[in-house]
Structure 1
Amino acid sequence: MAKDTHSLYQHGTLALLVPGLYDGTQTVGELLQHGDTGIGTLSGLDGELIIDQGRVYQVNSAGAVRQVSADEKVPFANVHYADFQAAGSISGTDYAETQAALLQALGSRNLFVAIRLQGTFTAVRTRAITKQQPPYAGLAAMAARQHEFTRDTVSGTVIGYYSPQVYAGAVSPGFHLHFLSAEHDFGGHILDLTVQNAQLALQKFTDFQLHLPTESTAFLTQDFGGDILGDIQKAEN
């Protein structure tokens, strides 16, 4: 059976992380049945995931990188089957300029698009959150529990997604990008970067498949009141 390269699959929502629903509700093995490329986090917000060519890598709060096993669980992740199309190159840009170049390449702010930017970066600053234990604090409190890492002149790959504003809550609107070095010894959720020279590839989707944790009592009974979008923006930025 041909792989569906037109659909973006997501398990969970960013909104469910806001009140602290961090328990894993899908195994990595099950997640990989829906794609070979993507991003996410492990149970307890344990670090940042980069999924590339069917391999799942975790950057933990100590900055260490390891390959994740199929039986580990995620509360939230995005995956798709890679079918990237070349979209030019980017060079000599800071993070704001890089995002502006990405937006221009997208052509529309109303589509889900996967982004792959591979090359050499003058500087990259990332973060990963320390694994949390129950009872969980809400997502807004996680900014104080993240660890930041920096690397100068590093080769690697940016993998992530652009999500339209209209789907805010289910997703974090705008860019959600993770980094993995070519040596697999550095990475995480991108906070800042400067591109030296990198090749850009994009993959636009016609379908967005949202999979909800319907067997999670915590999810089924949670009242998602309050400033959900505000808390998401604080955590992502």
Structure 2
Amino acid sequence: MKLYLLAALGGAALLFAAPAQAQPDVLFYTTLNRAVHLGQYDGVMTVRDFKKNGDFGLGSIDKLKYELIYLDGTPYGFSADGEAITLPDDARVVFGVTKHFKAQKTIELSEKLSLKKLQAVLDTLLDHNAFAAIKITGTFDQIKYFCYEEQQKPYKPTRKIGKKNFERSGVEGTIVGFFTPRSAEVLNSPNYHFHFTTQNRDGGGHVDDCRIGRVRIEIDYAEELRVHLPEPRLQQNIDLNKPIK
């Protein structure tokens, strides 16, 4: 907090504090999600620098070794081997999206919904022209998620690489998610991108399906976008002009 000196009558001086600046309402991306789908798996930014741009997010770590879940200012990594760690600052993010989360809309939901039906409910709640961060916290009767296997060069597109599937039942946890308008899917696709972690952070990954129990849904819209692009040499093995099949 900055203190300013204000001259006053009688030679006295008064100190007053400048008002704290609000966190910018920016949705920050490091690289493009489409680049990852096409096979760009080299880290482009350290976790240390990624954390400067928000306290809530998701992504992937170098060579897809870990699925990244960034929650309450702490970055967690989950691997296909079942490893669950707090990521060190020098780990490198392949793709990531983050923002300072502050819910603008909250609802409670207790219907037994699949992921597809949950997304249909979100369709009725969201402004489809806006970018939004979504936090879903509570009990999941069932949740299925996966982690990609760690990759080595030469890299292949995600549709051609291995992954490990996980399933949990009757578990408490949090889904970290983002909604992206379809016209901007090069940034983050598909429209809904969800990662999950258990309440005690002992497991997590990219959400495949779920059946919710009782959850709280919080939605936070972004006012600005910022994109950090990788060095051109890191994308020599892909073609961003080529559609994903």
TM-score above 0.5: yes
Q: 1:19 to 1:174 in 2, by over 3 A?
A: closer
Superposition deviation, residue 187 in structure 1: 1.3
Matches within 5 A, 1:16-55: 16-55=35-74
**What SS does structure 2 have at the residue aligned with 1:18?**
helix
Number of residues paired by the alignment?
A: 225
Q: Residue in 2 aligned with 1:190?
A: 207
For 1:218 and 1:116, the matched residues in 2 are separated by: 32
Q: 1:183 to 1:212 in 2, by over 3 A?
A: same
Deviations 1:40-73 (A, max 9, x none): 0001012211101111001100222110000010
Given candidates 85, 97, 103, the residue that maps to 2:117 is 97
**What SS does structure 2 have at the residue aligned with 1:32?**
helix
Letter in 2 for 1:80: K
Is the Cα contact below 8 Å between 2:114 and 2:212 reproduced in 1?
Answer: yes
Is the Cα contact below 8 Å between 2:39 and 2:238 reproduced in 1?
Answer: no
Rg bigger for which structure?
2
For 1:34 and 1:45, the matched residues in 2 are separated by: 21
* Residue 63 (1) aligns with residue 79 (2): no
* Residue 208 (1) aligns with residue 228 (2): no
Superposition deviation, residue 18 in structure 1: 3.3
Is the Cα contact below 8 Å between 2:146 and 2:205 reproduced in 1?
Answer: yes
For 1:97 and 1:15, the matched residues in 2 are separated by: 25
Q: 1:18 to 1:126 in 2, by over 3 A?
A: closer
* Residue 224 (1) aligns with residue 230 (2): no
Superposition deviation, residue 173 in structure 1: 3.4
- Aligned-residue RMSD, C-alpha: 1.6
Letter in 2 for 1:101: V
Given candidates 150, 164, 173, the residue that maps to 2:181 is 164
Deviations 1:79-132 (A, max 9, x none): 1011123421111212122111112121x2111100001100100000000110
Given candidates 179, 184, 187, the residue that maps to 2:196 is 179
* Residue 141 (1) aligns with residue 141 (2): no
Is the Cα contact below 8 Å between 2:60 and 2:68 reproduced in 1?
Answer: yes
Superposition deviation, residue 220 in structure 1: 6.4
Letter in 2 for 1:69: P
Letter in 1 for 2:202: D
Quote the sequence identity (%). 27
Q: 1:98 to 1:72 in 2, by over 3 A?
A: same
For 1:221 and 1:101, the matched residues in 2 are separated by: 39
Superposition deviation, residue 139 in structure 1: 2.3
Q: 1:189 to 1:113 in 2, by over 3 A?
A: same
Given candidates 70, 74, 84, the residue that maps to 2:93 is 74
Is the Cα contact below 8 Å between 1:87 and 1:105 reproduced in 2?
Answer: no
Is the Cα contact below 8 Å between 1:178 and 1:190 reproduced in 2?
Answer: yes
Is the Cα contact below 8 Å between 1:112 and 1:161 reproduced in 2?
Answer: yes
Listed as ranges, the gaps of 5+ residues in structure 2 are: 1-19
Listed as ranges, the gaps of 5+ residues in structure 1 are: 231-237
Superposition deviation, residue 216 in structure 1: 4.2
Of 204-213 and 124-133, the range deviating more from structure 2 = 204-213
Which runs of structure 1 show a deviation greater than 2 angstroms over 4 or more consecutive aligned residues? 1-5, 218-228
Is the Cα contact below 8 Å between 1:167 and 1:173 reproduced in 2?
Answer: no
